[in-house]
Amino acid sequence: MGKSKRNSPKPDSNRAQRLAERRAAQEQASAAVTRPFEGLAAECDLVALREFVPSATATLKLAPGVAAQREVTLATVLPGAVAALVRAGDEPVGFVGTQLQFQGTDASADIAAAILWTQSAEPGESLESADSADGGPRLADVIDPGADLELTVHQDFDWWVPEGVTPDAQVAATIEQAKQAIMPSARLDLGADAVGAAWWVDAGEKAHVRWVRPEDEDALMLALARLHAAGGLHMGEGSRFAGSFRTHGLLVPVFDLDPELHPTEWETPAREFGARLAEALASDAPMTSGERRSRDGLRSRQVTLR
């Protein structure tokens, strides 16, 4: 008896299309660069801008080898979630987005390609998606890898329109709609010696701090477990450790906070937590049974964004 073919979808069937899309998604995921911004001083902020900061900009310091024709501003999201645009003016400025409608497998190469595009594009042009060819330049090749981002955090999207320009009704409506959906955000100032990037956001009933950390994931998880077992996994009164998520090769601890307090009021507790975490990271003592239980519990609450 011949083998049944009822489980083999017809080439033009909906099921065949879904299977093809699933295979394509799996291939793209396996090809994705796990830690695209590794080696950059601004790695943690780049991850934050790409994943959860609503509205922020920073003027980039381009690498000496780049034939810079104009200034480039890195942004969270641009109108239409395009990869880049060149704003017309007396001195045209390039804008490059990190939160895109179409994302490739290597965020570093995509952003690098968008930056280079802004140097030759005509004022008024926009780039829907970056075409980063295999073996092409990556972000460390086109910006100063040792430079931090000098960030400006916005509570709206008015910066989408140049100063002194009145937007048309459709653009104004889009900006207003985006403004209504934005959640107030701030980057905590924890001093020059602070590790990673700690971002506060008011989500309504709760506020949160998401602290993007550069350490090896296993080492950081062990340190968090040590603090949890010792009762030190918090950011002071009115805070609670909510869990952590992985994204772009980094681990991001998250704390729920009292939303009544101003973000600057969390800076001292965050510094104190950072000091406790540094001490736990430096410890090479064998794990106790309580620390192992804490680590298992913390891992069970992790999620992976990408």
Q: Where are the domains of the chain?
A: 42-180, 185-304
Q: Is the pLDDT of residue 29 over 50?
A: no
- Tens-digit pLDDT profile for residues 177-226: 888 889 999 999 999 899 999 999 999 889 999 999 999 999 999 999 99
pLDDT value at residue 18: 67
pTM of the model: 0.86
Q: Which CATH number fits domain 185-304: 3.40.50, 1.10.8, 3.30.1460, 3.30.9?
A: 3.30.1460
pLDDT of 54 over the 50 cut: yes
Q: Assess whether pLDDT exceeds 50 at residue 6.
A: no
pLDDT for residue 4 is more than 70: no
- State the pLDDT at residue 34: 92
CA distance readout (Å), 65 to 41, 127, 261: 18, 23, 46
Write down the pLDDT at residue 9.
57
Q: What is the pLDDT of residue 21?
A: 58
At 25 the pLDDT is 46
pLDDT at res. 72? 97
Euclidean distance between CA atoms 69 and 93, whole angstroms: 9
Confidence of residue 68 (pLDDT cuts 50, 70, 90): confident
Measured in degrees and rounded to the nearest 5, phi and psi for residue 255 equal -120, 135
Name every residue whose Cβ is closer than 8 Å to that of residue 213 and which is 6 or more positions away in sequence. 44, 195, 196, 220, 250, 251, 252, 253
Statement: residue 102 has pLDDT above 50: yes
Mean per-residue pLDDT, 280-304: 92
pLDDT digits over 75-96, tens only? 999 998 999 999 998 899 999 9
> b/e per residue, 185-212, with b = 16+ CB within 10 A?
bbbbebeeebbbbbbbbbeeeebbbbbb
Give me the long-range contacts of 85-88 (CB less than 8 A, separation at least 24): 85/118, 85/125, 85/126, 85/127, 86/118, 86/121, 86/122, 86/123, 86/124, 86/125, 86/126, 87/123, 87/162, 88/123, 88/124
Contact 178, 81 (CB under 8 A): no
Return mean pLDDT, the chain.
89
Q: What pLDDT, on a 0 to 100 scale, did the predictor assign at position 30?
A: 45
Instruction: Give the whole-angstrom CA distance, residue 177 versus residue 58.
Output: 23
Which band of pLDDT confidence, cut at 50, 70 and 90, is reported for residue 302?
A: confident
Nearest to 114 by CA among 146, 158, 81: 81
Q: How many residues does the chain have?
A: 306
> pLDDT exceeding 90 applies to what percent of the chain?
71
Q: What is the mean pLDDT of residues 142-167?
A: 92
Q: What is the structure's pLDDT at 204?
A: 85
6-15, 256-265, 290-299: least confidently modelled range: 6-15
Taking the C-alpha atoms of residue 154 and residue 76, their distance in angstroms, rounded to an integer, is: 10
